[in-house]
């Protein structure tokens, strides 16, 4: 069969539909098939799994607790979702990540659907491809953190608002979309706090000021919308404050304002901190992203019928949130994740207006990175001489496969480009290459479990993990360990982020040596009197205490820590 006849064969509507269905099935299986392979990594994944596990164990779904202490840093929506997952499917690594995987999957579908509704089929397909090829989005959707959940709800809020205002004269349609927008905003607040409503609200006000059109503010359907927001977003905050009066100040004042302004969380970063993260997030569509960013500086004209300029609002949304977190005194790589759906939509729109010959930059980026990775990985692995070198050697084959995948799919994209392939075909091939490469990276990272997780360590402690045995973690806190041990532990000479909960327990008179031991000297006396106890120590501390004459016998170990009992 000639190339032209083959092209006509696969461009028929029925074959295209079957191809899309097969690709979507493969995408779905790959997406959900990888969520349980890698163990829960430190620290966030273990923390959020353990909070949900303790909810199920205690039956108290109102007050979040970590290692038995009150934990008020974040709202309860994801804790509830994961606790429900544990109740339905059991306490597993994959069920701990299920909410993140589902909301991440829905985020990608929402991006594609929004692009289709706003600008047409190809814009929707390309926006989906950009999102599916984003290392940033795909990796974060396979981590048990709060960021992908709040990203989904903020994106649903944004997309519903845009669709509501795209045809403002259709009142019933507009009302329905606005109610979804208000509800999604409340669920974003329930996911991670005030950013779920403050950031989208600030973007809307900036847009109204820029286009000087207050008619938009009159079409928000406040009565029904605010009612929905209050019914969804307020009850938990009210009842948790009733039962824990200290919650309000700690959550709303300290966690939001003090951390942003003062850097009390000790997560500083330069003003350009998020630029490399954004670059990783838009690979390989760097050229298209730069065009989108430049185009956004042209302010839209005021629409005669009051419609919202969706492209410029998306640009303003991405830029404002990026700048907002860039000026924060507390920074983490996941903070700008909510801008990625807006960026993907804008890049998808840009790709739909492009000729295929302009995709060469994206092809070369993928091919160049794949080639460089294949050459550099063996040298990087051989340069590691630490105690974790063996685990990185196990990681090497998977990492080489990731870069090989990038190179092969980029070569396929180049072959299509040379033969006059369509923009749709080339973008799809490149997106598949990046998605399968990132999925492979996530899968092969299981080789690093001994370094970044405690699953195998906890399993080796099985013979000593009995309810009658006290368990102590000394001078550190491995946050995935309680989840894999299926029990809380006693903290020794360490407080960290649980310090606030420890202090609350102390003030309430509920703190004793079975929950927290403040000093090593006090623990020494308790250790000598507890012949059945198990203690987890980092290796340098173990060597120091052994030298000081402590009675310690190692019963389990990994790269960084040991478990000890009495000789």
Structure confidence by residue, pLDDT tens digits, 308-317:
889 999 999 9
Nearest Cα neighbor of 480 from 502, 501, 449, 505 is 449
The number of angstroms, rounded, from the C-alpha of 321 to the middle of its chain's C-alpha atoms is 16
Q: What is the pLDDT of residue 286?
A: 96
DSSP string computed for 79-121: HHHHHHHHHHH-S-HHHHHHHHHHHHHHHHHHHHHHHHHHH-H
CA pair distance 429, 362, nearest whole angstrom: 11
Q: Are residues 152 and 205 in the same domain?
A: yes
CA pair distance 497, 504, nearest whole angstrom: 13
Q: Are residues 149 and 186 in the same domain?
A: yes
Residues 6 or more apart whose Cβ sits within 8 Å of residue 227: none
Of all residues in the chain, what percent carry a pLDDT higher than 90? 76
Do the strands 471-474 and 534-538 form a parallel or antiparallel pair, or are they unpaired? parallel
Q: What is the pLDDT of residue 10?
A: 45
Q: Are residues 221 and 364 in the same domain?
A: no
Q: Are residues 421 and 467 in the same domain?
A: no
CA pair distance 210, 202, nearest whole angstrom: 12
Whether residue 63 lies inside any domain: the answer is no
Whether residue 59 lies inside any domain: the answer is no
Instruction: Look at 23 and 274; give whichever has higher pLDDT.
Output: 274
> Residue 511: which domain range?
455-565
Whether residue 43 lies inside any domain: the answer is no
Checking if the pLDDT of 521 tops 80, the result is yes
Alpha helices in 283-420 (DSSP H): 286-295, 310-326, 340-352, 360-382, 389-418
Instruction: Look at 194 and 266; give whichever has higher pLDDT.
Output: 194
Checking if the pLDDT of 2 tops 60, the result is no
Q: What is the pLDDT of residue 17?
A: 73
Checking if the pLDDT of 61 tops 80, the result is yes
Q: Are residues 439 and 391 in the same domain?
A: yes
DSSP string computed for 211-253: HT-GGGGGGS-HHHHHHHHHHHHSHHHHHHHHH-TTHHIIIII
Instruction: Look at 202 and 261; give whichever has higher pLDDT.
Output: 202
Q: What is the pLDDT of residue 23?
A: 86
Checking if the pLDDT of 265 tops 90, the result is no
pLDDT tier at 121, thresholds 50, 70, 90: very high
Long-range contacts of 318-323 (CB under 8 A, 24+ apart): 318/342, 318/343, 318/346, 319/293, 320/199, 320/202, 320/203, 320/206, 321/199, 321/203, 322/274, 322/278
Of 402, 429, 449, which residue sits at a domain end?
A: 449
Q: What is the pLDDT of residue 257?
A: 80
Look over the chain and give the mean of its residue pLDDT values, rounded to a whole number. Answer: 91
Q: What is the pLDDT of residue 300?
A: 62
Instruction: Look at 524 and 15; give whichever has higher pLDDT.
Output: 524
Segment among 89-93, 111-115, 265-269, 509-513 with least mean pLDDT:
265-269
Checking if the pLDDT of 9 tops 50, the result is no
Segment among 73-82, 97-106, 354-363 with least mean pLDDT:
354-363
Q: Are residues 494 and 560 in the same domain?
A: yes
Q: Are residues 223 and 350 in the same domain?
A: yes
Q: Are 505 and 515 in contact (CB under 8 A)?
A: yes
Q: Are residues 407 and 487 in the same domain?
A: no
Whether residue 156 lies inside any domain: the answer is yes
Whether residue 54 lies inside any domain: the answer is no
What is the reported pTM?
Answer: 0.94
Q: Are residues 481 and 431 in the same domain?
A: no
Most confident of 105-114, 214-223, 390-399: 105-114
The pLDDT tens digits for 540-565 are 999 999 999 999 999 999 888 999 99
Q: Are residues 443 and 536 in the same domain?
A: no
pLDDT tier at 13, thresholds 50, 70, 90: low
CA pair distance 349, 370, nearest whole angstrom: 27
Do the strands 471-474 and 69-70 form a parallel or antiparallel pair, or are they unpaired? unpaired
Q: Are residues 516 and 533 in the same domain?
A: yes
Structure-block tokens of residue 237: 């905050």
Whether residue 50 lies inside any domain: the answer is no
DSSP string computed for 460-517: HTGGG--TTS-EEEES---TTHHHHHTS--EEES--GGGHHHHHHHHHTT---TTTEE
pLDDT tier at 304, thresholds 50, 70, 90: low
Nearest Cα neighbor of 310 from 103, 163, 101 is 163
Of 354, 378, 403, which residue sits at a domain end?
A: 354
Element (H, E) at 534: strand 534-538
pLDDT tier at 423, thresholds 50, 70, 90: very high
The pLDDT tens digits for 336-368 are 999 999 999 999 999 999 888 899 999 999 999
Q: Is the peptide bond before 360 cis (omega within 30 degrees of 0)?
A: no
Q: What is the pLDDT of residue 382?
A: 87
pLDDT tier at 92, thresholds 50, 70, 90: very high
Cα of first residue to Cα of last residue in the chain, in angstroms, is 76
Q: What is the pLDDT of residue 418?
A: 92
| Edge-to-edge order in the sheet of strand 534-538 | 516-517, 490-492, 471-474, 534-538, 561-565, 553-557
Nearest Cα neighbor of 310 from 137, 97, 124, 505 is 124
β-bridge partners, 535: 472, 564
Q: What is the pLDDT of residue 301?
A: 61
Whether residue 21 lies inside any domain: the answer is yes
CA pair distance 518, 322, nearest whole angstrom: 40
Q: What is the pLDDT of residue 3?
A: 44
CA pair distance 151, 141, nearest whole angstrom: 10
β-bridge partners, 564: 535, 554
Q: Are residues 407 and 461 in the same domain?
A: no
Q: Is the peptide bond before 500 cis (omega within 30 degrees of 0)?
A: no
Instruction: Look at 451 and 58; give whichever has higher pLDDT.
Output: 58
Element (H, E) at 69: strand 69-70
The pLDDT tens digits for 129-181 are 999 999 999 999 999 999 999 999 999 999 999 999 988 778 889 999 999 99
Of 449, 470, 493, which residue sits at a domain end?
A: 449
Structurally, the chain folds into a number of domains equal to 4
Whether residue 76 lies inside any domain: the answer is yes
Q: What is the pLDDT of residue 1?
A: 40
pLDDT tier at 107, thresholds 50, 70, 90: very high
């Amino acid at each position: 069969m000639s190339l032209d006849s083959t092209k006509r064969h696969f461009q028929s509507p029925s074959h295209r539909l079957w191809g899309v269905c097969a690709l979507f099935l493969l995408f779905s299986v790959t997406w959900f098939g990888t969520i349980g392979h890698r163990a829960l990594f430190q620290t966030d994944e273990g923390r959020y799994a353990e909070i949900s596990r303790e909810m199920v164990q205690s039956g108290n779904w109102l007050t979040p607790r970590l290692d038995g202490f009150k934990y008020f840093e974040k709202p309860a929506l994801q804790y509830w979702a994961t606790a429900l997952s544990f109740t339905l499917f059991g306490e597993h690594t994959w069920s701990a990540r299920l909410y993140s995987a589902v909301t991440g999957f829905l985020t990608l579908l929402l991006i594609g659907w929004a692009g289709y509704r706003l600008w047409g089929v190809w814009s929707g397909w390309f926006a989906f491809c950009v999102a599916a090829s984003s290392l940033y989005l795909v990796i974060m959707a396979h981590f048990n953190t709060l960021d992908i959940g709040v990203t989904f709800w903020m994106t649903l809020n944004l997309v519903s608002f845009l669709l509501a205002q795209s045809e403002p004269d259709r009142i019933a349609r507009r009302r329905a979309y606005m109610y979804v927008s208000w509800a999604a905003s409340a669920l974003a607040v329930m996911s991670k706090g005030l950013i779920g409503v403050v950031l989208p609200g600030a973007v809307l006000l900036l847009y109204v000021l820029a286009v000087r059109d207050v008619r938009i503010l009159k079409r928000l359907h406040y009565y029904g919308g605010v009612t929905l927001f209050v019914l969804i977003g307020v009850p938990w905050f009210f009842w948790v404050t009733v039962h824990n009066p200290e919650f309000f100040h700690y959550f709303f004042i300290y966690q939001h304002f003090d951390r942003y302004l003062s850097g009390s969380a000790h997560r500083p970063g330069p003003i350009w901190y998020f630029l490399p993260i954004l670059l990783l997030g838009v690979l390989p569509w760097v050229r298209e992203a730069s065009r989108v960013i430049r185009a956004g500086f042209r302010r839209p004209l005021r629409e005669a019928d009051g419609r919202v300029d969706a492209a410029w609002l998306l640009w303003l949304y991405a830029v404002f949130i990026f700048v907002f977190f860039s000026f924060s005194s507390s920074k983490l790589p996941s903070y700008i994740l909510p801008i990625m759906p807006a960026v993907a939509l804008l890049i998808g729109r840009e790709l739909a207006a492009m000729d295929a010959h302009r995709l060469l930059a994206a092809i070369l980026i993928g091919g160049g990175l794949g080639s460089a990775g294949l050459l550099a990985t063996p040298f990087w692995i051989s340069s590691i001489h630490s105690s974790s070198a063996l685990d990185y050697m196990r990681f090497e084959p998977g990492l080489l496969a990731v870069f090989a995948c990038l190179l092969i799919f980029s070569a396929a994209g180049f072959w299509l480009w040379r033969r006059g392939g369509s923009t749709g075909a080339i973008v799809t091939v490149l997106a598949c290459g990046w998605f399968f490469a990132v999925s492979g990276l996530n899968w092969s990272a299981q080789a690093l479990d001994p370094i970044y997780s405690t699953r195998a360590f906890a399993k080796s402690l099985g013979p000593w993990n009995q309810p009658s045995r006290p368990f102590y973690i000394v001078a550190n806190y491995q946050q995935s360990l309680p989840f894999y041990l299926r029990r809380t532990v006693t903290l020794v000479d360490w407080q960290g982020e649980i310090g606030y909960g420890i202090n609350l327990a102390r003030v309430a008179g509920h703190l004793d040596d079975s929950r927290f031991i403040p000093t090593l000297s006090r623990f020494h006396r308790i250790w000598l009197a507890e012949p059945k106890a198990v203690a987890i120590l980092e290796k340098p501390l173990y060597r120091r205490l052994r030298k000081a004459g402590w009675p310690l016998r190692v019963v389990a170990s990994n790269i960084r820590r040991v478990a000890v009992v009495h000789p």
